[in-house]
Amino acid sequence: MSLSVSTEEMSARVGAIVDACAELEGPLLPILHDVQKEFGFVPQPALQIIANRLNLSRAEVHGVASFYHDFREEHPGRHVLKICRAEACQSMGADRVADHAKRALKVDWHETTSDDAITLEPVYCLGLCACAPAALMDEKLVGRVDEKRLDTLIKEARS
């Protein structure tokens, strides 16, 4: 996961992902997911490489990548904290927890802390509506999250 990737290397790594998805019907979304997994985000130069391979225009690939909330144009922090903002979580104090997270991390939604440790993202429903409010730190699901548990999560992520 290097930030500076040469054109040749980028071309080889993205090309390999496209090749692996070549047999799929409608391969673009799986390709974009894999590219994001590979680099942590979808680098702009990757769009042209994908477009060439799939016989699409760069604009078409850009249109798809920019449509979906999941795909990032920039590298996130070392950890990504998602807090559910949907109604079931709201009914159990998710707004309060979200405000606490913003204050504790000194960031707003979609921003990364100054030490590059945590990116804060909103999410609309993790399917944990019966144990709300819910949060997701990287792959770790947390139900009934409150300010105290959030502080612990943040501390663990920074350590």
Partner 1 sequence: MTVKIYVPLDSGAIALGADDVASTVSGEIAKRGLDAKLVRNGSRGMYWLEPMIEVETANGRFAYGPVTPDDVASLFDAGFMTGASHDLALGATEEIPFLKKQTRLTFARCGIIDPLSVEDYRAYEGFAGLDKALKMKPAEIVKQVTDSGLRGRGGAGFPTGVKWNTVLGAKADQKYIVCNADEGDSGTFADRMIMEGEPFVLIEGMIIAGIATGATKGYLYTRSEYPDAIRIMEEAVKVARAAGILGKNILGSEYDFDMEVRTGAGAYVCGEETSLLNSLEGKRGIVRAKPPLPALEGFLGRPTVVNNVLSLASVPIIMDKGAEFYRDFGMGHSRGTIPIQLAGNIRHGGLFETAFGLTLGELVDDIGGGTATGRPVRAVQVGGPLGAYFPRDLFDTPFDYEEFAKRDGLIGHAGIVVFDDTVDLMKQARFAMEFCAIESCGKCTPCRIGAVRGVETVDKIAKGEEPEAQIELLHDLCDTMKFGSLCALGGFTPYPVLSALTHFPEDFKPRALDIAAE
Distance, CA of 158 to CA of 132 (rounded, Å): 25
Nearest residue (CB) to partner 1, 118 versus 134: 134
Residues near partner 1 (CB under 8 A) are: 24-30, 32-33, 63-64, 67-71, 86-92, 95, 108-109, 123-132, 134, 136, 139, 141-144
Q: Which of 99, 95, 93, 104 is nearest to 152 (CA)?
A: 104
Residue 131, marked binder:
no
Nearest residue (CB) to partner 1, 9 versus 119: 119
The least CB distance from residue 159 to partner 1, in Å, is 18
Specify the DSSP element, H or E, that contains 129.
Answer: none
The least CB distance from residue 21 to partner 1, in Å, is 10
Residue 89, marked binder:
yes
Nearest residue (CB) to partner 1, 107 versus 118: 107
The least CB distance from residue 55 to partner 1, in Å, is 12
Nearest residue (CB) to partner 1, 2 versus 127: 127
Q: Residues 90, 93, 99, 103: what is their CA dihedral angle, to the nearest 10 degrees?
A: -150
The least CB distance from residue 144 to partner 1, in Å, is 7
Tokens 């690939």 belong to which residue?
61
Q: What backbone phi and psi angles, to 5 degrees, belong to 154?
A: -65, -40
Distance, CA of 40 to CA of 26 (rounded, Å): 22
Residue type at 11?
A: S
The CA–CA distances, whole Å, from 158 to 51, 59, 74, 103, 109 equal: 38, 38, 20, 16, 18
Residue 125, marked binder:
yes
Residue 84, marked binder:
yes
Annotated binding site: 84, 89, 125, 129
- Binding residues for [2Fe-2S] cluster are 84, 89, 125, 129
